[in-house]
Structure 1
Amino acid sequence: MLAGKIMLESSAETYRVEDTMNRIAHSFGQKNPQSYATPTAINFSVDLMEPAIMMRIEKRTTDLNKIAEVNSVSRKIAEGQLNIEEALEALQTLEGQKFIYSDKVMVLIAALASGSFTIMFGGMWADFLPSLVAGGIGFIGFLWFDKLVEIRFISEFVASFIIGLLAILFVETGLGVELDKIIIGAVMPLVPGLHITNAVRDLLAGHLVAGLSKGVEALLTAFAIGAGIAVVLAFL
């Protein structure tokens, strides 16, 4: 259950979560473990005739490092390198670890990615710096508002709103050239690429409930980003 919880909170695909839980249970002698995961909850039973345990997943982020670490623990269990106490201790230590990157590093990466995406989408080099600044400040707004409110979609709306305002400011003052290219590049760090990928992979794996729910989540995120930009453009 702890392994599944860490993976779901780190945005792993649900079929991977279920597979990992079942493999760990098999490795510790359970013949017919039953696991069922959705983006917001896990149900697990060691056998068909045993009662199921349910755990809610309330907060989710993207941390591929933790997913890889849980998979590593799972492989060590399957190979007999860890007993159940050692495995539990390793997972508890992993659960307590903070995000691998600090907020400053994430803002720097988001800013550089914003400028790079602007060039990749056909923008001019004159728009690289405006997009870099807009993307970086917008991501700061996203991180700050995400800690202030629990609703992630509002944070994404605020971030895109800030990006839209800054993009218009840069173009109006002559520091930027193409408004659309600056906006497109700056919002890319907010785009839910991992959620879209996971939704497709879950659907292809036959996990229809999880796939559809992740697809809707990605759609709402895209709507929040688009709405933030649309509100700014509406007042031009």
Structure 2
Amino acid sequence: MNEMVEHNEEKVLKVCLLAGRIMMESGAETYRVEDTMTRIAAAYGITEAHSFVTPTGIIVSLQGVSPTQLVRISNRTTDLEKVARVNGISRRIAGGSLDMDEAFVLLKELESAQLFFSNWLQIAAAAIVSGSFLIMFKGIWTDFFPALLIGGVGYTSLLIIQHYTKVKFFAEFISALVIGLMAFQLVAIGVGEELDKIIIGSVMPLVPGLLITNAVRDLMVGHFVSGLSKGAEAFLTAFAIGAGVAVVFL
């Protein structure tokens, strides 16, 4: 009987850790990850579940004989579709329509799923966003297409450098540098007019908006470790972008 209980608790622990890891790697807030794991454990009959989540690791301890387990978070990106799907699976678990084995299989399939938009679609979206932000910041319409071109090229350089170097801050620095250089060149040959508006609009796809939002939300609910660490990551990202543009001006 004890072996059966221990086996069930081990399964619950695996489901909780897998769900939490997918959410953290996809850009979810810390408090949402902890709440989801607690609800999953409660749905499977474990009322005493404790978790400690940071941007780099998840520690979960369940009531009973199962030991505490740790999972490392090494890759973090933005994939809110996966966060939404994990929430959907947790709701089905809470509703009693999924047992532990079925939930684990669904989560493993979701973990390996590639839900990102294609690179070309991301580049096109970044280009349109760049031009739209230029207009929002009261730029002139003749600068719309230069900002659109520069924003697309800047985001392309970000994707390429991230693919080969795996160093996020370096990729953002080089991308901002490329954006600044292109803006200067286009203004110099008369294609663009307002240099500052073109650069501001073009770097907006690089701005860490989700990181800043998650940092504030985690701080508001009392997760100070995660909030401060995400805030520091957002600050470093903003610094890399600003440094890239500043080098061009210098």
User: Which of 194, 197, 201 does residue 210 from structure 2 map onto?
Assistant: 194
Counterpart check, 1:38 vs 2:50: no
Match of 1:6 in 2: 22
Contact conserved, 1:117 with 1:188, CA < 8 A, in 2? yes
- The 5 Å alignment of 1:31-180 reads 31-47=47-63, 50-180=66-196
Task: Give me the whole-angstrom Cα distance separating, in 2, the residues matched to 1:71 and 1:177.
Answer: 47
TM-score, normalization by structure 1:
0.97
Distance 1:35 1:48 in 2: 15
1:17 to 33, 36, 39: 33
Among all aligned residue pairs of Structure 1 and Structure 2, give the percentage whose two residues are the same amino acid: 54
**TM-score normalised according to structure 2 size:** 0.92
Q: How many pairs were matched up?
A: 234
Q: Report the counterpart of residue 227 of structure 2 in structure 1.
A: 211
Query: Over residues 26-66 of structure 1, what are the superposed CA-to-partner deviations in whole Å (9 max), with x where a residue is unaligned?
Result: 11111201111101100011128752101111111100100
Pairwise CA RMSD of aligned residues? 1.0
Per-residue Cα deviation, 1:81-120 (whole angstroms, up to 9, x for no partner): 1111110111011001113301111000000000000000
Moved over 3 A (4+): none
Matched, 1:28 2:60: no
CA distance in 2, matches of 1:119, 1:31: 53
Name 2:12's counterpart in structure 1: none
Give the Cα–Cα distance (whole angstroms) in 1 for the partners of residues 64 and 133 of structure 2.
50
> In structure 2, how many angstroms separate the alpha carbons of the residues matched to 1:50 and 1:227?
49
Where 1:73 maps in the other structure, the secondary structure is: helix
1:221 aligns with 2:237: yes
1:33–1:48 contact (8 Å) kept in structure 2:
no
Q: Which runs of 5+ in 1 are unaligned?
A: none
**Considering only CA atoms, is the larger Rg found in Structure 1 or Structure 2?**
2
Q: Which amino acid aligns with 2:162?
A: D
Structure 2 unaligned regions, length at least 5: 1-16
